[in-house]
Amino acid sequence: MNEKKDWVIADLDGLRSINERLVSRRGFGMLAGELYQNVSDTDATICEFDIKDNDERESVSLTVTDNGPGFARLEDAWTMFAPSLKKSDPTKAGRFNVGEKVVLSFCREATIHTTSGTVKFTPKGKREVYPRRKRDIGTEVSLTLKLTKQRLNEILDYMPTLLVRDNLKVTVNGSRIQQRDPIASWEETLQTEIGDDLRPTKRKTTISIYALQEGETPMLYELGIPVVETGDKWHVNIDQKIPLNTERDNVTPSYLKSVRVSVLNNMHNELTDEDTESTWVNEASSDKECSDEAVETFKVKKYGERSVAFDPANPEANAYAVSEGYTLIPSHGLTSGQRKNMKEADVLNTSSVQFPNAGRDAYGLDGEPVEVVSDENQTEGMKSAKAYTEQLGKLVLGVDHLDVVFVRGQTRFQHGTFVACFFAGRSPSIHYNVGNLGQKWFDDSVGTTRLDDLIIHEFAHHYESNHLSARYYKALSKIGAQIISLVRNKEIT
């Protein structure tokens, strides 16, 4: 027996002032949500809302009728924080026996007619209890609410947002709320609350994803009832109690993150490029529980299939990556969590890792040194190409001697061997890779544009190593113009 049950008396006007702050955050439609929750938590198959404007100033009649089991204890209709029969069941939303009292604080008068009796709350502030006036089945809640037109509209707009459970028909003024089909569902272990003390525990439940209808704001749902605005991509319904505060309008950041990670892990293939900029995706993809598949999808959606991380220590590797059609992921382009997840998933390389030899000497990096083709093993075509290259070096670059060397093998870049390499400095040289070009290439190339094209490309490195710099392109056009001038003046033999 609770000897202290009469210690405290709640002032309904005071309760209303507290609830005003609550409905200002969640919208006045939440009152209908409280009434719907009482029905949805039962095995009722019918729930009828009848909402009428009384044509009086700020007066609305709202009646909710169901065919459920009714109130097991009539006193629960007016007793706040009494032990709830739903606390031990994580699949029921009820917790504190507060919902009806929130609604009553906005009423002028009310009647609850249920299987355990009838209670009337009169306009004069009295409570009249009739334990013998029982319904055979279900409950009828009749309310006269002090509502503005705006708040009435908020209730009417709220009703279609409910995710009505299977086997329950809900009507509003005779029109049925259409049940929505989820676009995806899966099982996940999430925190919930259970027992008289609502102790936190983890339990496997179902998460369902619903598409937004026109004008809707993405919400986190508890058992079909919208409770927290998220701003994410979809509605997310959790099929068990979620750890809400007393006002039932917010969850902890850690809980919301857990939900978001689960959504990303299961819905990453549905993301758009624009979604990668959203708060929830960035938060979830930074979490250690983000799956390898999800983090890879995030990287591809944000930066493309061909993307590498910028390496501040190797500008030439960065430039080469871009020249090969890769997108550079800037240093600030990923959070530390995203970068760590991508590395652990083996889906993120720096430009230097992707192109290990870019910006470095081609020799001595990939095993044995290259084989140099001796003079006696050079074909006539190779010798002609050498003489032609040396002549251009003198005329175009203005060097006294350009060393022309033929080599075989030695991988320069990850995607193939180099065809030629220019070494600038006091003793410049150009190396042709016969292993890649082939001897016949030289026999057929002297006096053709393909040899000139290769020479111009390599000669530009006499002035600039970075393929993507403006200085390199200026060097290309300068060398091309010089060769045209030499041809025009017939100085090239």
- pLDDT 10s digits, 402-423: 999 898 865 444 444 578 888 8
Report strand pairing: 169-172 vs 175-176.
Answer: antiparallel
CA 33 – CA 90 distance, rounded (Å): 18
Residue type, 260: R
Question: Tokens 């033929």 correspond to what residue?
Answer: 406
Taking residues 367-388, report their average pLDDT. 84
d(CA 201, CA 207): 17
Contacts of 277 (CB under 8 A, 6+ apart): none
Q: Is the pLDDT of residue 18 over 50?
A: yes
B/e letters for 197-236, b = 16+ CB within 10 Å, e = fewer, are ebeeeeeebebbbbeeeeeeebbbbbbbbbbbebebbbbb
In the prediction, which pLDDT does 423 show?
82
Give CA angle at 358 (475, 411), nearest 5°. Answer: 115
8 Å CB contact between 138 and 70? yes
Euclidean distance between CA atoms 178 and 83, whole angstroms: 34
Rounded-to-integer distance, Cα 101 and Cα 79, Å:
8
Distance set, CA 351 to CA 308, 321, 464 (Å): 5, 6, 19
Task: Give the containing element (helix H, strand E) for 60.
Answer: strand 60-66
Query: Is pLDDT at 468 greater than 80 in this prediction?
Result: no
**Is the pLDDT assigned to residue 364 strictly greater than 80?**
no
Say what percent of the chain tops pLDDT 90.
Answer: 52
Q: What average pLDDT does the segment 377-394 reach?
A: 92
Q: What are the tokens at 64? A: 């909710």
Domain ranges in the chain are: 12-176, 184-267, 276-354, 371-488
CATH 3.30.2010 for domain 371-488: yes
Q: Which residue has the tokens 């929505």?
A: 180
- Domain 12-176 sits in CATH at 3.30.565.10
SS3 (DSSP) at 316: helix
Per CATH, 12-176 and 371-488 having the same topology is answered no
For 58-88, the pLDDT digits (tens) are: 789 999 999 999 888 888 776 644 555 555 6
Contacts of 476 (CB under 8 A, 6+ apart): 456, 457, 460
Distance of CA 418 to the CA centre of its chain: 41
Contacts of 4 (CB under 8 A, 6+ apart): none
pLDDT of 81 reads 46
Q: How far apart are CA 318 and CA 227, in angstroms?
A: 48
Length of the chain equals 493
- Contact yes or no for 10/125 (Cβ under 8 A): no
* Angular region, 391: left φ>0, alpha ψ -120 to 50, beta rest: alpha
Query: pLDDT tens for residues 436-460?
Result: 888 889 988 877 888 999 999 999 9
- What is the rounded distance in angstroms from the CA atom of residue 226 to the CA atom of residue 331? 39
Q: Do residues 447 and 454 make contact, with C-beta atoms less than 8 angstroms apart?
A: no
Strands 307-309 and 327-329: parallel
Type of residue found at 155: I
